[in-house]
A and B are shown apart, each in its own frame.
Chain A
Amino acid sequence: MALTTDDIKQIAHLARIGLDDSALEPLRDDLSTVLSLVEQLNAVDTTGVDPMAHPGNAVLRLREDKVSEENRRESLQAPAPQVAQGYFLVPRVIE
């Protein structure tokens, strides 16, 4: 499967990863190589095969609907780059 540098730009945009123009071609080559590897999956017929999302076919466990955590906002926000009054600060979103 051959990708183009436009494909790479689009994928990078979806992944919100900033790329220099110089990175586009090497990434296109690398990703194309990996996709060729992955295309081997097409060799097998999987019609009617139930997809396996999880080993052991686990189902999400539910817990009792009662409060079990304490408010640790300060310590949980301590690693944040910018915090004020309990909010995480980011550049202005709305003009």
Chain B
Amino acid sequence: MYEKTLAEQSRLLASGDCSSSELTAHYLDRIARLDSDLNSLVSVSTEGAAAAAKLADARRSGGENSPLLGVPIVHKDIFCVDGGKTTCGSRMLEEFHAPYSATVVSKLSDAGMVTLGKANMDEFAMGSSNENSYFGGVKNPWQRDCVPGGSSGGSAALVAARLAPVATGTDTGGSIRQPAAFCGLTGIKPTYGRVSRYGMIAFASSLDQAGPLAATAEDCAMVLQAMSGFDERDSTSSANEVPDFTANLNDSIAGLKIGVPEEYFSDGLDAGVATAVRAALSEYEKLGAKLMTVKLPNQNLCIPAYYVVAPAEASSNLSRFDGVRFGYRCESPVDLEDLYTRSRGEGFGAEVKRRIMIGTYALSAGYYDAYYLKAQQVRRLISDDFDKAFSEVDVVAGPTTPTPAFQTGAKTDDPVAMYLNDLYTVSANLCGLPAISMPCGEVNGLPVGLQLTGQHFDEARLLHAAHSYQLATDWHQRMPSGIE
């Protein structure tokens, strides 16, 4: 069953060929057998999942037949789930029990999805390799000495190993798309505001978005559909009407105008990745799409701008972790100052501390204009570049990452080397644009991702374009070995 896509499983559940209880038990068994090696899950809800599956089967017997009813899912451990732990990959929240569930979790559970557990992740979503988790690193199922990417590394690894047909992730600078690319999956970051952030532990409030990681674009479309929509409880939630993402998946994409920025194919890009991406673009031409060169003159400023904006927002968001109302509290604090400094010093990991400090510096008196304000102005320039590109093309294409998955430990000494993984992904977050990554090749046995960035609220077009590619190719059907 694990070899089937979510869409196929949905059909089998609908036809009665399989029950949610059977499917859930199948995945719980796989998790028990295979995850000790991968470390992709922080917690497993064996009883909760069995109960939810039983409830889904009962709902189905009662006449319900929605597409996600009874389908299992794992949530990135950044989503609050009432009744269980939400650790955010950190010692700071190691024992945290959220008093409410995230809107994303509630919507998917109302749709009948069965939560199997919570996925491991880089601490507070800060990282590109899942090497920054308090609960240990995650292995890439394709090559066990390589990273799965991050920060949604657990989500990507577990779906790649088929321990669940889909997992939720979050993406602030590429944290859905980059691990999807490293693990041979399809992952989509929707338009900023498309999916509610209520109950999703905040990293950078103007950049964060939730989205699914799955084997196919169709699977992503089905889950994103249920995740999307206006939420009263999220002040940044968009009222933009959510179209049916699955409605036109099978239409032809002839005439689709794909912009390819010359700036993407430069020194930092691995030759094997470049070859695979160009081959994928040729495939799109065969399907009737038109390739055009576009210019993104400020592309080289994306990483610098992001690494001011994101840490600045993080320093603000993470100031709530002070040992007072929730989370880790140090032993025997002598005064309030000691309570704050030791709870935070002991509760946060190294990368989190680094980023909070960068952000604090960038926002501090005397430096605000030079760093934060400057970065926000550059952000405007980057956004204008994309607006200009979209006046000529429908989507912008390129590699998702500059290299395939790297070896564990290869980039931990140099924070900037790690940050450069996000070269092609951060612009979508800075501009609030939707972007999707899909598998398009392999380099030395490791998956390569093709990224398409779309206009605001144009997820349907991205999913359609990805699905069309997947009808004509089979990269998305490949699975790592050793996961039987």
Contact = CB atoms under 8 A, between A and B. Distances in A.
Interface of A: 7-8, 11-12, 14-19, 27, 30-31, 33-44, 46, 49-56, 58, 60-61, 63, 72, 75-82, 88, 90-93
B345 A19 contact: yes
A65 B383 CA distance: 35
Contacts of B354: 27, 30-31, 34
A36 B326 CA distance: 36
A44 B301 contact: yes
5 contacts: A8-B357, A37-B304, A41-B378, A55-B430, A88-B324
Interface string B426-460: 00001111000000000000000000000010000
B336 A90 contact: yes
A17 B344 contact: yes
B241 interface: no
Interface in B71-125: 96-99
A50 B339 contact: no
B90 to A, nearest CB: 14
Given A37-B303, A80-B326, A91-B335, A15 B357 contact: yes
B480 to A, nearest CB: 34
B216 to A, nearest CB: 28
Contacts of A92: 335
A41 B326 contact: no
Given A34-B358, A37-B307, A88-B325, 10 more contacts: A15-B356, A16-B337, A18-B344, A18-B346, A37-B419, A51-B376, A53-B206, A55-B206, A55-B383, A60-B235
A30 B354 CA distance: 8
A77 B376 CA distance: 37
A51 B432 contact: no
A53 B348 contact: no
A90 B324 contact: yes
B374 interface: yes
B16 interface: no
For the complex of A and B, the 8 pairs showing the least CB-CB separation, nearest first, are A55-B432, A18-B345, A51-B376, A18-B341, A46-B377, A81-B329, A52-B380, A16-B340
Interface size class of B (residues with CB under 8 A): 35 or more
B232 interface: yes
Contacts of B432: 54-56
Contacts of A63: 232
Contacts of A36: 416
Given A18-B346, A53-B376, A81-B329, A38 B371 contact: yes
Nearest to B329: A81
B278 interface: no
B248 interface: no
Given A14-B360, A55-B432, A79 B416 contact: no
B224 interface: no
B322 to A, nearest CB: 7
Given A38-B308, A52-B383, A17 B345 contact: yes
Contacts of A41: 301, 304-305, 308, 371, 374-375, 378
B305 to A, nearest CB: 6
B54 to A, nearest CB: 26
B364 interface: yes
Contact of B364 (A14, A37, A79): A14
B243 interface: no
Residue from A17, A49, A63, A92 with most neighbouring chain B CB atoms (10 Å): A17
A37 B418 CA distance: 12
Contacts of A51: 373, 376-377, 379-380
Contact of B97 (A7, A30, A37, A79): A79
B299 to A, nearest CB: 12
B353 interface: yes
A6 to B, nearest CB: 13
A81 B303 CA distance: 38
Contacts of A79: 96-99, 325-327
B336 A91 contact: yes
A37 B422 CA distance: 14
B121 to A, nearest CB: 20
A77 to B, nearest CB: 8
A50 to B, nearest CB: 6
A76 B250 CA distance: 47
B342 interface: yes
B27 interface: no
Contacts of A39: 304
Contacts of B308: 38, 41
B380 A50 contact: yes
Contacts of B3: none
A17 B415 contact: no
B451 to A, nearest CB: 18
A35 B334 CA distance: 35
Contacts of B414: 33
Interface in B287-336: 298, 300-301, 303-305, 307-308, 315, 319, 322-327, 329, 333-336
Contacts of B340: 16
Nearest to A54: B206
Contacts of A75: 99
- Most chain A C-beta atoms within 10 Å of own C-beta, residue among B97, B238, B298, B356: B356
B390 interface: no
